[in-house]
Structure 1
Amino acid sequence: MKTIFEQGTFNAYQERSLQHAMNEVVRFSAQTTVFISHKHDDLGDLQGVLGFLEKHYNVKVYIDSRDSSMPAITSEVTANNIKSRIEKCDKFILLATNGAIESKWCNWELGFGDAKKYKNHIALFPMKPQGTYDSSYKGNEYMRIYPYICYFDGTERYTNGTSISKGYYIGEFKETGNYITPLSEWFNSK
């Protein structure tokens, strides 16, 4: 099971341009809409994740860092626009790199997303620097609070002994144990 991905894992999906993810989300679409909170320094990883999600899960992604309607200088208008975009999207994902975990804006967006999307509509996409140990990942405590995207390679088993199918899931820690939901099912739940 992979619970924390290395940065660069999704680089093969970077062929998608970030430009189309800057348009304001329209709820009339049958596609699930996703607000991805991210640190602006992580645009390479963001582009790969965006391409991966759109290709494999047919979702419409919104990112604020490319939205030309955002003010040039961060202000209360920026915050209000972001709040509006989070509310309009069906799902909220934090691209949870070490930089994003330390970012005051990402934490603010996560807090607002928590209030508007918690529990079934919010998730972390945990990413650590290449070549580092999971234990050095700065978002480990966040993964105890929020659902997170993870991967199973098909060799793992549920506690009842049945095989877990290969693929991506939403993992979640609860007092009664760890639970997973197929990522496609999570995206399709409204």
Structure 2
Amino acid sequence: MKRILESGQFANYRNQSRLDSASMEFSNVYKSYFGKTTVFISHRHDDLEDLSGLIGFLEQNYNVKAYIDSKDSSMPSVTSGATASKIKERIRQCNKFILLATDGAVESKWCNWELGYGDSQKFSSKDIAILPLKRKGYDDSSYKGNEYMQIYPYISFYEGNETYTTGGYVNRGYYVVTDDEKGVHNIIPLENWLKVD
């Protein structure tokens, strides 16, 4: 299991990303975008390469629509209280919330504020997850967001050689993992987590 993914994990998807068109028009409160699951991606603006890869990965493999605030033409040009109000509205409108949890994002006051608001809107419905992303070549212990993984569901990659407690093998792929108080990993395939009932 790759518990903490590595920067560049989704590099092959950068060219297929729709980063330039990752804005959505929210003229109403409907939570679907032409029948697709909508995902608010909280991120640090310095992480655009990893963000672009993540958007391409999600949109190509799971047919979702990613929302990022920096591509929303309705956002105020200068950060203000109106910006925060719009972001709160977008978090509520999107079906899912993912924090691209790089070391920089974990230290960002805006990402932490978005995560806190996302928690209040999405945690009880299990529609929030973090995607832990460490620096390339570093080990898991150097990752600054380890404590977040004790609180929030997180996205990890299973190699296909891990087993369930019942003895069967876990299929190779991405999963949303929730650790219980005994350290047991409860997993759901990312594909299933992204589906909206």
TM range (shorter): over 0.9
Matched, 1:88 2:88: no
Deviations 1:140-173 (A, max 9, x none): 0000000000111111111221100111100011
TM alignment of 1:128-147, pairs within 5 A: 128-147=134-153
TM-score calculated relative to the size of structure 1: 0.96
Shift of residue 9, structure 1, vs aligned partner = 1.2
Match of 2:36, SS state, is coil
Aligned length: 190
Partner Cα distance (2:180, 2:141) in 1 = 20
Unaligned runs of 5+ in 1: none
Judge conservation of contact 2:176–2:187 (CA < 8 Å) in 1: yes
Indicate the percent of aligned positions where both proteins have the same amino acid. Answer: 55
In structure 2, the residue matched to 1:98 is: 103
Q: CA deviation at 1:3?
A: 1.3
Q: Tell me, in whole angstroms, the C-alpha distance in 1 between the residues paired with 2:170 and 2:37.
A: 25
Distance in 1 between residues matched to 2:131 and 2:4, nearest whole Å: 8
TM-score calculated relative to the size of structure 2 = 0.93
> Which secondary structure does the structure 1 equivalent of 2:22 belong to?
helix
User: C-alpha separation between the residues in 1 aligned to 2:31 and 2:161?
Assistant: 39
Supply the distance in 2 between the matched residues of 1:80 and 1:136 (Cα, whole angstroms).
Answer: 34
Deviations 1:70-112 (Å, cap 9, x if unpaired)?
A: 1121100100000000000000000000000000000000000
Residue deviations 1:22-68 (CA, integer Å, cap 9, x gap): 22356343211000000000011000000000111110110001222
Secondary structure at the aligned position of 1:46 is classed as helix
One-letter identity of the residue aligned with 2:186: Y
- Counterpart pick for 2:31 among 27, 30, 38: 27
Q: Distance in 2 between matches of 1:46 and 1:118?
A: 22
- Residues 74-85 of structure 1 aligned to structure 2 (within 5 Å): 74-85=79-90
Contact kept, 8 Å, 2:95 with 2:196, in 1: the verdict is: no
Any stretches of 5+ residues in structure 2 without a counterpart?
A: none
Residue 122 of structure 1 deviates from its aligned partner by 0.1
Asked if the contact 1:24/1:85 (under 8 Å) is kept, the reply is no
